[in-house]
Chain A
Amino acid sequence: MSNSADVRSILSLPSASATPAPSHKKPTLPSARKPDGISRELFSLIGPSSTTLVAQLAKPRLKQKPNLGAGSKIKWEWRAFKNGGRTDSLQLRHWVKASTDPDAEYPFAKYNVQRPTFTYTQEEYTLWLHDNDWTKEETDYLMAIVQEYDTRWYVIQDRYEYSGTVPRSMEDLKDRYCSVCRKLLRNRPWTGDESTKQQLLSSFAFDKEREVLRKRYVTSLENRTPEQIAEEEALYMEIKRLEQNERRFKRDRDDLLRTIAGIESGLPDVVEDEVQLTGLTLDSKRSKKKGGGAGDLDSPSTPLIAAPLPKRAALPPPTLPKNSAYDLQHCITRTDAAGAAGAGASTKAAHQPAYLRSFKMPFPKSSIAPKVTQVLVELGVSPTRLVMPTQGNVALLEELMDATAVLVETKKVVDKVEYDIQVLKNRLGMQSTAGANAEEGDGGGDAMEVDAGDDADGDADGEGEDGRAQSVVSTRSARSRKHGRRSLSISSVDTSATISTRAGTKRQRRN
C-alpha cells in the first residue's frame, strides 16, 4: 500500500507534513467498520464515504414466510366413532384432530333424513281408502316400497313385484300413492295450521290422465322417423324464409315510397323494428297455408298496409291524457294524427310532417281572392303575412278570412239583385207610362209574388246599404269593424228567414 508520503519520497519531494510517522499510523480506515455486502478491496479503494452504494448492496430482505403451523403442532388421533345414523353398535375408526370432542355427534349423521310415513289402520282403509282396483295388501306393499325407495318412482316401478295382479304402470302407482296420502291428509284431524296442510296436499296432487297423455306425447315425439323429423325441420326453415321475404318486401316498399314521396310519404325516416309485424305475417302465412296458397302474390301486401295504421293509432292515447296539463303549461300543441288520418286509411294521412305555421296560412277561394284581399287591405290586415303567426292569430285570421269571403259573396248577390230590381223598376216605369194606373198595383203585386226571394234579398240589401256595407267598407276603427262583422254574420244567417223577423232584427240593430 502506498500513500502520498511514499510517492513523495520516491520522487524526492519534501514531505508535505512535518510529522509523517503519525500520519502513517493515523489512518481512520480501521475505525470505520466495513459494512456487509461490499468487498474488502472495493471498500479500501472507496472508503466509508459511499454510503448510498452500501445501502444498495445490502442483502435484500425477503418477504416474511407465512406461519402456516400457527404455532403449535396439531395432534391427530385414530379414534373410534359412533354413527348416529346406525341402529347397531358398529364402531368404525377414523383420523380426527385430538382437540375435537369425542362425544360430538358424527357430522354426517345429519344427512340421514327420513320422509314422513303414512300408515293407516284397517278401519281407516275401509272408510276412506277403498278402491276396487287395489287390495289392501297391495296398497300396503306399495306404501312400503315407496318408503323403501324414497319416492324414486322410476326405481319403484322397476322393483315393483306384487304377484297376482295386473301389471301396474308408473302412473298407476303414483296415482294410488298420492290419492291415499291425500285422503288420509284430508280426513284425519289436522293439528298444524291450514297453509301447511294445503301445501302438503298440493305436493300429493297428481293428475293421472294428464301424465299419461304427456307420456304419450313424449313417446310419439321419440317415435318420429328421420323423414318426419327432416320434414318438420324443412317446414320450419320454410317459414323462416317466408318471414324473411315478407320483411324484405315491406322494406323495399317503404324505401320506394320514401324515394317517391319523400317526407310526404308519411313514413318515418328511421326504419323501425318489425317485431310487431312478425306475428301478423305469421298468422297470414298460416291462413295462407290452409287456403292452399291462393292469392300468393297479393296476400302479403294486405297485412303490410293494414299493419302500420293500428300501430300509429295506438300510440297517442296513452300519452295524450297524461300530458294535457303539461302541454297547456308549456304551450305544446299536439296534432291529432289519428284524427287527421280519419277514415281515409291511407298511409299518407297517417303521418303529419313538421311545418312552419306561417306557411300554412289560410287562403281565400281563388275566385274571390282578389276581392277578399282588397277588403283585408282596407282593414289594414296583411293577408299573406302575420307579424306573429301564433295559433290564436292564425285562427283569428282564418275566421276573418271566412267572414270576408261570405261578405264578398253576399255583396255580389246583393249587387245582382239590385241590378235586377233596377231593371224591373225601369221596365215598370216604361209600363206605367204606357199602360193604365189600375194595372200598376197588380203588376206590383205580381212582381212581389213572383220574386219573393229576390224581394227578400232586396230588402236585406236595402238595409245593408245603409248600415252594413258602409261600416265594412268605409269605417276603419276596430270597434266599427267588429260591429260590422257581427251584423254581417247575423244578416247572412237571416237571408232565409221571414221579412218580419228581419225587420225586427234590423230595428234592434239600429238602436
Chain B
Amino acid sequence: MVNYGGDEVSALVIDIGTSSVRAGYAGDDAPKAVIPTTFGFHRAPPDADSAMPDAADPTRSGTGKFTKMYMGQYGPSVWREGMEVTNPLTDGLVHDFEPVAALMRHAVVDVMRCNPTEHPILVTEPAWNTPANRERMAEIMFEEFQVPAFYIANTGVLNAFAAGKGSALVIDVGQTIASVTPIVDGFVLRKGLVYSSLPQLVHAHARHTLVTPTVQRRGGIDLYPHQLITNKMPVEVGAPPRYTLREDRVKGTTESWRMWYEAREVDEWSQSVAGVLEQGWNDQAAASRPPRQYEFPTGYNAWFTSERYSVGEQFFWHSPQLMASNAGLPKTIPALISESLRACDPELRQVLVGNVVLTGGGSLFAGFGDRLSSELARSFPHVKIHSPGNPVERRYGGWLGGSVLASLGTFHQLWISKEEWTEHGKAIVGQRCK
C-alpha cells in the first residue's frame, strides 16, 4: 500500500472541457463517463405527440431557463424539432454554471450510477480560471452535490502529473483554446501562462476551405448532417452530389443545432483528412503528399491534396499579410511557447524545454507532434517532448492526472472538507488550492 504511495478513497474525478465532460474513479486509467459538454435544450415545451423516440434518451427536465435538457450520448447529436444547442463554456471557462451542474450530475449519477454524497470529488479547472469561478464550483459541489470533500486542481498541473513530471511545459491544445503552461514543482507559473483561441482559427480555416467555391467545387460543399438527408446517390469523385433533404425536418431545425452539426462535420473532415507538414510549409512537399479521399454526408466526395496541409499550417505559421490585416489574430504555437519561456526565469527555460508535455485532443491532429518537435529543435538545443501515443491518454490527460493525484495517500490531507467549507466559506478554496 505504501510502496507506490497510493491510497484509494473512492474519489471521483471530473474534468470539464469544451468538447466533453470526463468523469471517473480516481485510480483508474481512463474516465468511466465521457459526455459532450454541448447539450440540447428546448425553450418551449415540445409537442406532446413528438415523433421522436425520446423514451430511451437520458433527458432531464431543466429547472431554470431550459425547459428540457438533452445531454450525453443521445443528447445534442439526436435531431429534435426546435432543439437548440449550446455550450456552457467559453474559452475554456464556465460562463453558465446551471447546465454544468446538470452535466456533472448526468455524468456521475446517470452514467456512473454513483451517489455524489459518498465520494470526495476532484474537479479540474484551466490555469486561467477566475477565483470567482472556482468558488462557485466549490459551492455547487458542497451545496448541491453535498460531497464530503472537494478539491479543484489545475489542468496544466494535472497534465504534468499524468506525464509523471513535477516540472514541465504543458502544451495543451483543446477544442477552443491552445495553452502553454509552465509548471514548476507542481505549481503553475502564472506569469508564463499564455493561451490563444488558435484551434478556433484552424477550425474556421478548415470550414472556409470546404465551403468556399473553387474551380472544382462550384458553390462549395454542403455540410448538411446525415440527419437531414432522406436519400443520396453514389456520385463520381468531384461530381455534384445527388441527395434529397428531409423537408419535414429542415424547417424544424434550429440554427444553433445546424451550426453545431456543421462544425462537427468540419471537425470530422479535418481529423480524417487534414494534417500538417513535419518540416514547415513547402509547396512541393505538400504537393508530393498523397491525396486523400473524403465523402461528406451528402454523398459528395473528393480527393484533397495540398489544401489539407494548409489547414494544419495555421497552428504554426500565419502569413504576414494575414497578421497585418487581423490584429486580434490568435498566436501560433511557436509564438505561445517563446512568449511563455520569455516570461520564465532564464535558468528554468532549459528545464522546461527538456520537459515538454503535449496533450489535449487537438494535439492528435495529424503530424502535430512531429512538427512541434522540429519547430522546437530549431530554437532549442535539448528538447524532449512527452506526447503519449495512446489517444485516450492524450485526450484525457487532465483527467488522468487528477486520477493519479486523487489516489495518492499524501494528497488526502489537501481535500477541502465539508466542515472546512462551512467554517471558512469560499476563502478556503483559494487558500487550499494554490
Contact = CB atoms under 8 A, between A and B. Distances in A.
A442 to B, nearest CB: 111
A222 B348 CA distance: 12
B349 A108 contact: no
Contact of B412 (A108, A219, A222): A108
Given A90-B417, A93-B9, A112-B413, A154 B189 contact: yes
Contact of B8 (A90, A94, A155): A94
B25 interface: no
Interface in A87-105: 88-90, 92-95
A112 B423 CA distance: 23
B148 interface: yes
A111 B417 CA distance: 20
B372 interface: no
Contact of B2 (A107, A149, A155, A157): A107
B184 interface: yes
A92 B187 contact: no
A90 B409 contact: no
B10 interface: yes
B246 interface: no
Interface in B178-195: 184-185, 187, 189-192
A505 to B, nearest CB: 93
A209 interface: no
A219 B346 contact: yes
Interface in B316-371: 344-349
A155 B189 contact: yes
B187 A94 contact: no
A90 B419 contact: yes
A500 B409 CA distance: 117
B345 A108 contact: no
A261 B129 CA distance: 86
Contacts of B192: 158
A85 B7 CA distance: 15
Contact of A170 (B7, B10, B345, B412): B345
A107 B6 CA distance: 11
A18 interface: no
Nearest to A91: B148
B1 interface: yes
Contacts of A107: 1-2, 7, 409
A88 B420 contact: yes
Interface string A201-241: 00000000000000100110010000000000000000000
A92 B147 CA distance: 12
Nearest to A85: B413
Nearest to A100: B1
Contacts of B413: 83, 85-86, 108-109, 112
Chain B interface SS verdict (over half): mixed
A159 interface: yes
B185 A93 contact: no
B123 to A, nearest CB: 17
B23 interface: no
B184 A152 contact: yes
B271 interface: no
Given A83-B413, A90-B415, A108-B2, A218 B347 contact: yes
A139 B120 CA distance: 38
Contacts of B191: 158
A152 B9 contact: no
A12 B418 CA distance: 111
B410 interface: yes
A104 B187 CA distance: 32
Given A108-B409, A154-B345, A158-B190, A94 B185 contact: no
B274 interface: no
Contacts of A95: 8
Interface in B397-434: 409-410, 412-413, 415, 417-420, 423, 434
B149 interface: yes
Given A152-B187, A155-B185, A219-B346, A111 B410 contact: yes
A89 B148 CA distance: 11
A159 B185 CA distance: 14
Given A92-B149, A152-B187, A154-B184, A108 B410 contact: yes
Contacts of A219: 346
A90 B411 CA distance: 13
Contacts of A94: 7-10
Given A155-B185, A215-B347, A93 B409 contact: no
Nearest to B189: A158
Contacts of A148: 434
Nearest to A96: B1
B148 A90 contact: yes
A92 B420 contact: no
A93 B189 contact: no
Interface string B155-192: 00000000000000000000000000000110101111
Contacts of B10: 93-94
Interface centre among B2, B191, B346 (most CB of A within 10 A): B346
Nearest to A87: B420
Task: Identify the interface centre among A95, A109, A155, A218: most chain B CB within 10 Å of its CB.
Answer: A155
Contacts of B410: 108, 111-112
Interface in B274-289: none
Contacts of B344: 154
Interface in A45-93: 83, 85-86, 88-90, 92-93
Given A86-B413, A107-B409, A109-B413, A154 B8 contact: no
Nearest to B167: A154
B195 to A, nearest CB: 16
Contact of B419 (A85, A89, A109, A159): A89
Interface string A154-174: 110111000000000010000
A89 B419 CA distance: 8
B187 A222 contact: no
A94 B120 CA distance: 12
B190 A152 contact: no
Contacts of B8: 94-95
Interface string A335-358: 000000000000000000000000
A323 B315 CA distance: 78
Contacts of B190: 158-159
A85 B415 CA distance: 11
Nearest to A86: B413
Contacts of A218: 346-347
Interface of B: 1-2, 5, 7-10, 120, 148-149, 184-185, 187, 189-192, 344-349, 409-410, 412-413, 415, 417-420, 423, 434
Given A155-B184, A158-B184, 18 more contacts: A85-B413, A89-B417, A90-B415, A92-B120, A94-B8, A106-B409, A107-B2, A149-B434, A152-B184, A154-B185, A154-B348, A155-B187, A155-B189, A157-B345, A158-B187, A158-B192, A159-B434, A222-B349
Interface of A: 83, 85-86, 88-90, 92-95, 106-109, 111-112, 148-149, 152, 154-155, 157-159, 170, 215, 218-219, 222
24 contacts: A85-B412, A85-B413, A86-B412, A86-B413, A88-B417, A89-B417, A90-B149, A90-B415, A90-B419, A92-B412, A94-B8, A107-B409, A108-B412, A112-B410, A149-B434, A152-B187, A154-B189, A154-B348, A155-B187, A158-B184, A158-B191, A215-B346, A222-B346, A222-B349
- Across the A-B interface, give the 6 residue pairs with the lowest CB-CB distance, nearest first: A85-B413, A108-B409, A90-B417, A92-B9, A155-B187, A158-B189
